[in-house]
Chain A
Amino acid sequence: AQTVTQSQPEMSVQEAETVTLSCTYDTSESNYYLFWYKQPPSRQMILVIRQEAYKQQNATENRFSVNFQKAAKSFSLKISDSQLGDTAMYFCAFRWSTGNQFYFGTGTSLTVIP
Chain B
Amino acid sequence: SQTIHQWPATLVQPVGSPLSLECTVEGTSNPNLYWYRQAAGRGLQLLFYSVGIGQISSEVPQNLSASRPQDRQFILSSKKLLLSDSGFYLCAWTNGYEQYFGPGTRLTVT
Contact = CB atoms under 8 A, between A and B. Distances in A.
A62 interface: no
Given A44-B104, A45-B90, A100-B49, A35 B44 contact: no
Given A100-B32, A100-B51, A47 B43 contact: no
Contacts of B92: 45
Interface stretch (A16-24, A66-74, A75-83, A103-111): A103-111
Nearest to A107: B43
B99 interface: yes
B49 A44 contact: no
A91 interface: yes
A95 B97 CA distance: 9
Contacts, number: 48
B104 A50 contact: no
Interface string A27-44: 000000101010000111
Interface string B64-98: 00000000000000000000000010101010011
B99 A35 contact: yes
A106 B42 contact: yes
B88 A104 contact: no
Contacts of A107: 42-43
B14 to A, nearest CB: 24
